[in-house]
A and B are shown apart, each in its own frame.
Chain A
Amino acid sequence: MHSCAPPPEGPLILKGTDGRRRVVVAVDRAARQAGLYPGMALTKAQALVAGLAIHDADPKADRDGLERLAQWALRTFSPLVAVDPPDGLVMDVTGAAHLKGGEAALLDGLIQALAAQGIEARAALAGTWGAAHALARFGPGSSVITAPGEEDKCLPGLPIAALRLPGDTVHSLSLLGFQIVGDLAAQPRAPLVHRFGPDIARRLDQLFGRLNEPLDPVHLPDITEVTRVFAEPIGAPETLARYTGKLTAQICDRLDSKNLGATQLDLMFHRVDNRIEAVRIGMARPVRDAARLTRLLCDRLETVDPGFGVERMRLVATGAEPLALAQSSTLDTPGDTAGAGLSSLIDTLSNRIGAERIYRLSPAESDVPERCAHRLSPLAIENTQADIWPQHWPRPVRLFARPEPITTLGLLPDYPPRAFTWRGARHQVIAADGPERIFGEWWKRDPEIHAVRDYFRVETEAGARYWLFRSGDGEGHRTGTRGWFMHGVFA
């Protein structure tokens, strides 16, 4: 660690100048708790808190750091990332959220990944840049998602500062009595423009999505990319697909010369109205096969809105890994190897429905039925032998995620029920096997130290076979409630 680094628990502020005043530019959590805030005079802060660590603010380094963070986000989260200085990033996740399992999962993943780097972040997802900017800073929680159409309800309550206006404009507006966005939006435009210029109207329109606001995305250095500029804007789906194919062939040649294969490709459509539509695909293993990549990209083309036309297409390999030439044999039978043959199918499916929805189930060391399997990536070749699952005890085909309570008629402590009522229907039991006693995993979870389940396989007079269990050993209340549950269905 640097020798002059301040103690981590003490208050820390950064100082800068505002005209001829020396002011506090940024404060950490300890300093905020001590009552300091950005914008106050430095001397006042020094007078308030003893032992304050003060460092010079370095806006240029901040800006560079933000740029690096944007590049990292571009590789990991979204094909379109721009810096929103001084302290924000803005991303267009339209064509990329499917790879992270939806918008909520993407936002959670983003906050967690930033937290892992030591950055405490707030995130918001909304229909416009302005709305997302405002909600991330002034929204109710650290992660806010607004449904389309819901924005009109939550935006008017935000403070004026959320509008990305210069500081003195915000100050003058507050002197005039405007506190929230809703007040300002309800005012006639002309007097405001006359007094403050066109900025307020523009920001309001951008906030509510009435005015388009193009992103200026960051670029990655040293990256394989190909671009095609069109003399006339194109827009027909088949034309887009044709040029997608041409660009893919070009980028595959480039990758080939570098001995690389793409693991992530971004295809960007620069529209004539300055908007950028993007599509992102991910591959489980590096790929350089133009036909396969074209197919994956064309699968996503239906999400692209070409608007009045696309004037430039850019294909960028944001993820690339070394891919050596592999020897193939005509003797290989499809389906023989789990990995090589299947990875193209896995890619196609995961780009369509999301990678986390395709999985293998691998046996886990647990007797509790709900925990006896865990999900693996479909291409993981781990020890997936089923030996650790019980062979001599029959297991049901379908298992209910939550055991459903049933009412039973039966003898305690060790007998199976003679009849039970499940989902409103009464079943007479004619034969049963059991009990199979399964204990709670006290070595992993403290509340399960006494937990016991007694499983029975029962057959009803109609020939249906069910998996029931009684919570507890049937004697003491300590081991369970003695309630009966339906947990699965045998064939």
Chain B
Amino acid sequence: MSELHAADHAHHEMGFLHKYVFSTDHKIIGIQYLITAMAMAVVGGLLSMLMRYQLAWPQGVSPIMAKIFPVAYNGGLMEPGFYISLVTMHGTIMVFFLFTAVLLGGFGNFLIPLQIGARDMAFPFLNALSYWIFLLSCIVIFSALFVTSGAPMGGWTAYAPLSAVPAAAPGQATGMTLWITAIALFSVSGLMGGLNYITTILTMRTRGMSMMRLPLATWSLLVTSILGLLAFPVLLGAGLLLMFDRMGGTSFFVPAGIIMNQMPIDHSGGHPLLWQHLFWFFGHPEVYIVVLPAMGMASDILSAFCRKPIFSYRMMVYSMVAIAVLSFVVWGHHMFVSGMNPFLGSVFTLTTLLIAVPSAIKTFNWLGTVWGARIRFTPAALFALGFVSMFVSGGLSGVFLGTSAADIQLQDTYFVVAHFHLVMAIAPLFAAFAGIYFWFPKMFGRFMNPTLGKIHFWFTFIGAYCVFFPMHVIGIGGQMRRIYDPTQYMFLQPQQPVNVFISISAFVLGSAQLIFLFNFFFSIFGGRVAERNPWHATTLEWIAPTPPGHGNFGEELPTVHRWPFDYSVPGEREDFVPQTVPATVTAQH
């Protein structure tokens, strides 16, 4: 492991490849994660556009698509199997390769050493390795779209036995094998990252940076890394068993006597529900792996633009820990209709609804922070507020779904689709946008255009609600998720206009992201040059030069004297006091 010494690396020149590609600098790795995840988001987003087109106009013949995808659009109509592949790939790419990667990999790498006052991660080489394994996993999952037998069809949850038997469907052959490989690689890369984050946050904080002086973004990344550390190995183990079922002839997840595609399957004795238990033991913490960093970042950003300290810092930390602990005992709420004992269902209902308590604490604390503040409505502030809005909207429907009696009615409908998109996709997306607008000046030394940012926000905010709010209604109306053609069902036909409305909104929402992409890449080179602390924020990354050099803080590491939320302190000349200002010195102003 290369130990970093400030004196060594402050002045030595490196080639382009070493500096920007094969770098072990946490900032470069963070930006690499960010941009790779953005590329994956474009892929995942395009897939969802194809799905929405199909759902709005299932009978519409499209000669253009037939030219681009001759196999999937045979005669201009989408093949049903292709639609299921789209569902699978969209879910997988967005959950793992966008949200987990951008929040943990991107912001985790970029922010942690800067916010705790360290020169780099604890194990920089391992950190770089983590990125390259992540990139490999991206390539593997992307290649699953192009195999001749088709992309995987198991959904992002890869339920057995369909995922355990290659003969189950065309996409379950090579496509599924690539899926498992990609997820296994992703888990390994995530573990390397998590190992680094926990070690760095615990052992490399600068002088005076006690745990209760950490910014909430760093706190959330610590809690999230611990979640990942406990959850990802279980997924890895389950994936291993699944792989042996597919290739080694074992029958861990395949019961005896099943027939697929008119063919008896030569397996015996396994337990398909075992996969669901193992998957959701990982899968539910994964939801919080995505949501917790979003919460932490939004907290810091809201506080900075409200010019007020975060409301109840300690409760923010404790509620994050509570959510993390509870997330390991709620996985059964994904399996209420799997034939589980109703008493067990009640237990899972109870634990699930308990999560509402820390979530509500956080929500009220955000409201308390915003309350009576003179908010500076920058794009970052707008997206952070949007995060709170989306989290509340998505979270409230979770109370219905977490109650087993109501869930039996609503499961596998668009109500569920609306719920999880709002709470674990759109909400983290808003927080990620907020984070990008907020930290972009520190990353690249330039501002993103605020006008374009505000246009981007309003299109995204209204667009997201227009897409996902009506889904609750058509879900209660009975529209099933993963459905390929709603017009085939008489009882769904009256609500087809809603599907058309959702699809048009989705196209607007998708197009609005082009504004963001343009703004992002244009601003790297052509944005207004940013100063050291453009938002007048208090945390340590704003004390470092913009953009920070190798080693982050120049000759000497900063010393921390206060918590990260000293905004509008009475009696101070300025409305913010950086963490490095000693308490007594400020009093003499």
A interacts with B: no
Chain A residues engaging chain B, CB cutoff 8 angstroms: none
Chain B residues engaging chain A, CB cutoff 8 angstroms: none
